[in-house]
Structures are given as structure tokens and as C-alpha cells.
Amino acid sequence: MLEQYRSRILVVDDDPVNVRLVEAQLVNEYDIVTAFSGEEALKVLAQEKPDLIILDVMMPGINGYETCRHIKSSKETCFIVIIVTALSSRDDRLEGIRAGADDFLAKPIDRVELITRVRNLLKSKKLHDKLIAESERAKKYLEVAGSMIVALDVHGTVVLANAKCCEVLGYAGSELIGSNWFSKIILPEHRQDMLCYFNRILEDGPESVEYSESYILTRSGSKKLISWQNSCMKDSSGKITTVLGSGSDITEQRNTGQKIKESEEKFRALFENSVDSVMILNSDGIILEANHAACKMLGYSREEILLMSGSDLITPELRDKCMENAARLMEKGQDMFETIYVRKDSSRVPVEINVKLIDYNKETAILSNGRDITERKLAERNLKKSEEKFRLLAENANDVIWTMDKHCRFLYISPSVMKLRGYTPEEARNQVFGEAFTPDSIMKIESAVNSFFADMQPGEMQNHSEVLEIGQFHRNGHVVWTEAVARAVFSNDGEFQFFLGVTRDISERKKAEEAIHKYTRDLSKANEALKSLDRMKDEFISNLSHELKTPLISIKGYSELVHDEVLGPLIKNRRMPCT
């Protein structure tokens, strides 16, 4: 059995005899705490929380009045104080009232008067504390209430508005309190009707207009439809003093009423005409609804399916797994998984199930959408075979096939890298660029990647490829010259996935190119030598021609002079043609 609470009283007096006397008179009903000065009393109050203080006035140091002021100055220590004094003048009592005393006792203290005053004050304190607690509780209820709560006086002035009301209207409480509700909040076109409702409530009581709806205007200028439940508060004479309204924002509810109906009709049309199997099950897994596609897929009539549960449709070896899926659905609210249905003819069909918790006829139900994935499973098997063939091809190709992400990290390197560079695929993947490529090659790669992303435009880089000659380090230290052809791979949404590339050893080609360059240089040198000999020939012929022509020209000149008899007549039989 719980021990009954005993009120605690602090007795403060500098005379120990007086303290013991008061303690002896009260100790049977109350717990007594004592102090012998004002300073000591304040220290005790820092630790104790008494229900009442009996305080002597005439004390050294801080007297009773000053101690009372200290006590009453803080909400934490604002206790009931009875001042005990031998002084009984009017000014003494006024001084006590100004200090905040709740009552007075004159010395010598009468035992009956002391007990009566203490009982009455403590009784009043309990009622006051209860009233404060009820008031605080009511305020908390108002603040956490999910509905708007507003109180109007008989003139339509707002005297109370809870947090929800302020939230819906967009006003602070201080902006609403004291304003006229009808002028500030009600739309002009509805104001007169709402005033009529309000006046009828004042005249005939809340029963006359227990429920009403009105459009209100928020601070932002938007309109909201509010449903109101009305009640009244009356004074002691039974006259209505306050109209209390509890409101709910039904704007969306009213606006979406028709939409919900249309949505239900659309859902029913989609439900019946969906190409996928759609069923609704209750929380126990019993099938409540099944569309035509479900009946067709499983080979049952609608009547037959509605007599079954969801687990009846699952192949036996997967039913435990489906129970796990059901538990996950209840935890997350939706789920997706694959399972196998058993048709009426005992054949099996793989399905992808998408399940979601819904509200159906005001109860929690499961919406199950099942899709036949037979063709997809077949495609997946074919794809897997194709991938195995591709991997077999990649792993046995002479060229190195690789993939790289946008951060230039290799994701895959085919085993042929061992032949090319002497490293295993795993070793090659873990190498940084400085360990794998020559400095010039690193610059080429980074420049190509940066240019690709700088110029990348959706849809324009799908078929773009890049060809680079790259020097790669072999395990034994020499450089292997390779040609890398790379292109970007994108998802169906156009997002970059990775670079796919093929690297080929071109060491022999580089050697051939070097041999061709050397042969070309040798030919160029030989050609220059031939050109030099040709120039020498031309000079020789020119010199020879000059040496021969010079005397011949002189001979020809003299011959012409003799023939023309410039130098004198010739003997006839010596004349010959000069040609």
C-alpha cells in the first residue's frame, strides 16, 4: 500500500525555542524542516521544496520581509509564506503584503489558529496546483491536437487559437488573438452566412448549428474548406460567453472525393484489363479478388480462385520462402520477388510478384501483381550462354580485352595480358598508371578521357571510338608497343557506364615501320648522291663543250673571212664551200 503524502513545512526563526514549539504543534501531520536565519532558509530552499513556509520577521541579518521577497522573486521558490510577527500595526502588515506574504500570525502563536491557517492554506495550494496542472494539461492537449481549435467571444473576437489553427491559417498566435474572426479569416462571399450561424449559436445554443462548413482565407491568400464542430462555454448564469470551434481541413478530402471515385473506376478498369495477373488478398492470404489475366494464366475460373489462398498457387518447395516474403512485406509495406505458380493442369510458370499493402474495404489487404517471366527466363539463359561464349572468346583471344571506369580504374582485363606484359589479369588490374604505362602514354590516355567527358553530349558519343598508340611496361622491364581501340558504353537511359577497349601488340609493326623509315632514309641519301653525280656530269660536259667550241669558233670565223676574200682573192681551184 502506498504511503500517504505528507506536506512539508519549513519553519524559520532565530529562536530555537519558537522553532521547537511550532514543530511540536505540526509534526503529527506534516514533515518539518527548520532554519534559524534568513540566509539559512534560502540555502535550505536551494535543496528542499516545501509546501509552506512559516517565517519569523525579526531575525538578524536578512529579516523576514527581505527573505520573503527573495522567496517570491522566483517561480522556482514561490512558496506559500506565513509571516509570524509580534508586530501588529497596519504598516507592518502592508510591508508583509508588499513582500508577498500569503498570511500572518501574531505572537504568541495560538495552536488552533496555527493548525487551521496551515490546513486552509495547504488545501488552497492543493486546489491551486490541481487547477494549474489541469490548465497545463488542457493547453498541451490544445497544442498537440490534430484539429484546429479556436474560441470566439460573443463579438466574434478570437480569444484562443491552438498551434494547428495557426499552422493551417499561416498566422502566429499573437496575430490571431484579439482580431475579428469573420473579418480576418472568413471569405467575403461566405461572411454573412457564417455570421448568421454564429448568432444562431449564441441565441439557441450549439445544438442549432452543431456542424458547419466554411471556406477560410489563409495568410498566403489560398482558400481552404474547414468542417467545424461547435460547442459553447457559459457563465454561472447560463449565458453563453464563448463559442468553441473544432475544425478539420477537408479541402483535399472534398476536392479529391470525385477524384477518388474516378480513380477507383480507373483502378477497376486497369484491374480487369491488365495483361498481368492481379489479385487482392487479405492479411491471412485468402484471395478476395482476381482479374481475368490471373484466371487465364492459372487456368482457374474466378469462382475457383476466390476459394483459394495465395499459398495454394505456389509450388510446394517455395512456400516457406513466400512466408519470409510475406513477413518482409508486413515490415516494409511492399516487396518484389520471383516465385513459381502451379497451374490447374499442374504445369508450372515462373512469375515476378510485386506486392504492396493497401486499404481495401477499410481493412489492410495485399495487392499482388504477377507477371509471367517465362520468356525472360529463357532470354536470361540464352544471355548467360552468350556471356559464357563471350568470356571464352575474351579469355582465349590474342588481343587484350578490357573495361575501365571514368576514374581510369580497370574493371576487367582478359587473360591475354599475361602474354602481352607478363602479368596476370589481377596483377594488371591492381597496377597504377605509372606502373603500367610510359609517361607519354599516360598523358595521351588522360587527355583522351578528359576530352571525352568535356565534349560528351547525350546521344552524340554512342559510336565514338578512340585509337591510341600506347607504350606498356613488360614485367621484365622493356616497353611493349600496343595499339588500343576504345569506345564508351552507355545504358539505355544514355548514362555512361564504362570504356570498352581492345589492345593489340604492335611491336612487330613498329619494327617494320622503323625498317621502312631506315630504308627510306638510305634511299634519300642515295638519291642525294646521284643528284651530285648528275651535277658533276653537267659541269664536265659544259667545260668540255667550252674548250672545244672556243677554237672551232675562231677557225670558222677565219674560214669565212678567207672564203669571202676579205683577206684577199683566192686561187680559183682552192675555193671550197664554207659550211
In angstroms, how far is CA 307 from the centroid of its own chain?
44
Query: pLDDT digits over 227-251, tens only?
Result: 888 888 888 788 888 888 888 888 8
Strands 148-153, 103-106: pairing is: unpaired
Residues 493-508 as b or e (16 or more Cβ within 10 Å = b): eeebebbbbbbebbee
Q: 366 and 385, same structural domain?
A: no
Query: pLDDT digits over 454-513, tens only?
Result: 877 655 656 678 889 899 999 998 999 999 998 888 887 778 888 888 898 888 888 887
The grid cell for 460 is 552524340
Mean of all residue pLDDT scores within the chain:
83
SS (H, E, C) 392-409: HHHHHCCCEEEEECCCCC
Strands 348-360, 363-372: pairing is: antiparallel
The grid cell for 348 is 508450372
User: In what order do the strands lie in the sheet containing 363-372?
Assistant: 287-290, 277-282, 363-372, 348-360, 334-342
Domain, as residue range, for 213: 145-249
Alpha carbons 61 and 265: distance in angstroms, whole number: 86
Q: What is the dihedral of CA 292, 293, 296, 302, to 10 degrees?
A: -30
Q: 355 and 278, same structural domain?
A: yes
Residue 334 lies in a domain: yes
Choosing from 186, 216, 249, the residue where a domain stops is 249
Query: pLDDT digits over 380-390, tens only?
Result: 887 777 666 66
Q: 482 and 408, same structural domain?
A: yes
Least confident of 97-101, 237-241, 573-577: 573-577
The CATH number of residue 394's host domain is: 3.30.450.20
Q: 280 and 199, same structural domain?
A: no
Q: 118 and 101, same structural domain?
A: yes
Enclosing H/E stretch for 451? helix 439-455
In angstroms, how far is CA 320 from the centroid of its own chain?
35
pLDDT at position 439: 92
Rounded to an integer, the average pLDDT of 350-359 is 90
Q: 129 and 151, same structural domain?
A: no
Residue 424 lies in a domain: yes
Rounded to an integer, the average pLDDT of 161-190 is 88
Residue 43 lies in a domain: yes
Instruction: Give pTM, 2 decimals.
Output: 0.33
Residue 542 lies in a domain: no
Between residues 287 and 104, the one the model is more confident about: 287
Q: 279 and 224, same structural domain?
A: no
Q: What are phi and psi of 396, to 5 degrees?
A: -115, 5
In the chain, the number of structural domains is 4
Nearest Cα to 503, choosing from 451, 549, 441?
A: 441
Residue 267 lies in a domain: yes
3-class secondary structure, 263:
helix
Q: 52 and 19, same structural domain?
A: yes
Query: pLDDT digits over 27-45, tens only?
Result: 898 999 999 999 998 998 8
Alpha carbons 125 and 45: distance in angstroms, whole number: 18
pLDDT at position 46: 86
Q: 243 and 345, same structural domain?
A: no
Q: Is 197 exposed, middle or buried (0-12, 13-18, 19+ CB in 10 A)?
A: middle
Nearest Cα to 349, choosing from 383, 323, 378?
A: 378
Q: 181 and 79, same structural domain?
A: no
Long-range contacts from 376-382, C-beta under 8 angstroms, 24+ separation: 376/352, 377/350
Residue 546 lies in a domain: no
Nearest Cα to 82, choosing from 66, 68, 94, 69?
A: 68
Q: Is the pLDDT of residue 533 over 80?
A: no
pLDDT at position 228: 83
pLDDT at position 1: 43
Alpha carbons 67 and 532: distance in angstroms, whole number: 128
Alpha carbons 269 and 261: distance in angstroms, whole number: 12
Enclosing H/E stretch for 229? strand 223-234
Q: Which residues contact 405 (CB under 8 A, 6 or more apart)?
A: 411, 498, 499
What percentage of the chain reaches a pLDDT higher than 70? 88
Choosing from 505, 527, 548, the residue where a domain stops is 505
pLDDT grade for 3, boundaries at 50, 70 and 90: low
Residue 24 lies in a domain: yes
Q: Is the pLDDT of residue 321 over 70?
A: yes
* DSSP, residue by residue, 292-361: HHHHHHHT--HHHHTTSBGGGGB-GGGHHHHHHHHHHHHHHSEEEEEEEEE-TTS-EEEEEEEEEEEEET
Least confident of 271-285, 346-360, 450-464: 450-464
Q: 118 and 15, same structural domain?
A: yes
pLDDT at position 459: 56
Q: 177 and 301, same structural domain?
A: no
Alpha carbons 60 and 498: distance in angstroms, whole number: 90
Q: Is the pLDDT of residue 391 over 90?
A: no
Q: Which residues contact 127 (CB under 8 A, 6 or more apart)?
A: none
pLDDT at position 232: 84
The CATH number of residue 22's host domain is: 3.40.50.2300
Query: pLDDT digits over 131-171, tens only?
Result: 777 766 666 656 555 678 888 998 999 988 888 888 888 99
SS (H, E, C) 473-504: ECCCCCEEEEEEEEEEEECCCCCEEEEEEEEE
pLDDT at position 157: 93
pLDDT grade for 2, boundaries at 50, 70 and 90: very low
Choosing from 348, 372, 396, the residue where a domain stops is 372
Residue 549 lies in a domain: no
Are the CB atoms for 256 and 264 separated by under 8 Å?
no
User: In what order do the strands lie in the sheet containing 80-85?
Assistant: 31-35, 8-12, 52-56, 80-85, 103-106
Rounded to an integer, the average pLDDT of 187-202 is 86
